Amino acid sequence: MDLIANVSLLFTERPMLERLPAAIAAGFDGVEIQFPYDLDPVLLRHLAGECPIHLINAPAGDPANGDVGLSTDAGRVVGFREGIEVARRYAEVTGCRKVNVLAGPPPANQPEDVTRRVLVENVRALADALAADGRQVMVEMVNPTDVPGFFVDSLDKALALIAEIDHPAVRLQFDLYHVARTEPDLIAAIYRAGDLIGHVQFADTPGRNEPGTGTIDFATAFRVLRQVGYVGAMSAEYRPLGRTEAGLGWMQDLRTSLAGRGA
């Protein structure tokens, strides 16, 4: 089982380019980076030789000004489409195989049917651009407590959206933390998503911290993910309670537990 680190949240004690080798040294098998676009992709490609980059987010506007994605805004379609080429180039240069689209809050007065149409068309356009190279686009649900107004705020909405997009390169980014915050039965939710799952992230609930700090049974969840056919990496996307390395005891415990269960 490959465990990878989201180095936008982990190893933040270091500059970004130092986080990739730090993740490998700590026992991870690779990384994901939320927004790598202020970094030289050639430098990232060099680091990716030892530390594979599994996923990046599509450009999402200006997070410093509160942007949580451009994909739902009918007034920013041009900006999203310009970001497609940027994401494609970074994925190609770095060897990244997956790009996630954030379906952030749409403008307050925009009709829901317009929001949905714009989102579907934008995701299809990104998928068309990436599929030629065998890459995939992820659609993620985010719980409405953490991000009020996020358009895809439930698992059912995410699954319905993927069905409407109807593109072979589009899959579900299944974040155990966000799903557990909205679903009464996480294991049943994994079975419901099934083979649409294309990428997995995790953090414990309710605090979004290290495994073992909350209520999720990760060994069971990971085993069921394998049962439904998911064969990709599991990405640690949590907020460390202290220094990153000091909170990594869960890694060996989880690997040992999974080995004992034959996962």
The confidence score (pLDDT) of residue 109 equals 95
- Give CATH superfamily name and number for 3-261: Divalent-metal-dependent TIM barrel enzymes (3.20.20.150)
The confidence score (pLDDT) of residue 261 equals 65
**Is 151 in contact with 103 (CB distance < 8 Å)?**
yes
Catalytic pick among 140, 164, 183, 245: 140
Per DSSP, the three-state class of 223 is helix
Is 140 a residue of the active site? Answer: yes
CA 3 to chain centre: 13
Q: CA angle at residue 32 from 168 to 103, to 5 degrees?
A: 55
The confidence score (pLDDT) of residue 152 equals 98
* Helices and strands of the chain, counted as H and E runs: 9, 8
Is beta strand 197-202 parallel, antiparallel or unpaired with respect to 234-236? parallel
The letter for the amino acid at 30 is G
**Is 139 in contact with 122 (CB distance < 8 Å)?**
no
Question: Where are the domains positioned within the chain?
Answer: 3-261
pTM of the model: 0.95
d(CA 74, CA 42) in angstroms, rounded, equals 33
Catalytic pick among 32, 183, 210, 237: 237
**Is 198 in contact with 136 (CB distance < 8 Å)?**
yes
Q: Per-residue pLDDT tens for 44-103? A: 999 999 999 999 999 998 877 788 899 999 999 999 999 999 999 999 999 999 999 999
Phi, psi dihedral angles at 77 (to 5 degrees): -60, -40
Parts of the chain with a pLDDT under 70: 260-263
**Is 103 in contact with 139 (CB distance < 8 Å)?**
yes
The confidence score (pLDDT) of residue 258 equals 80
Q: Using alpha carbons, select from 85, 89, 7 the residue that is nearest to residue 53.
A: 7
- Taking residue 180's Cβ as centre, other Cβ atoms within 10 Å add up to 22
Which residues fall within 8 angstroms of residue 166, CB to CB, at 6 or more apart?
A: none
d(CA 242, CA 36) in angstroms, rounded, equals 24
DSSP 123-153: HHHHHHHHHTTT-EEEEE---TTTSTT-SS-
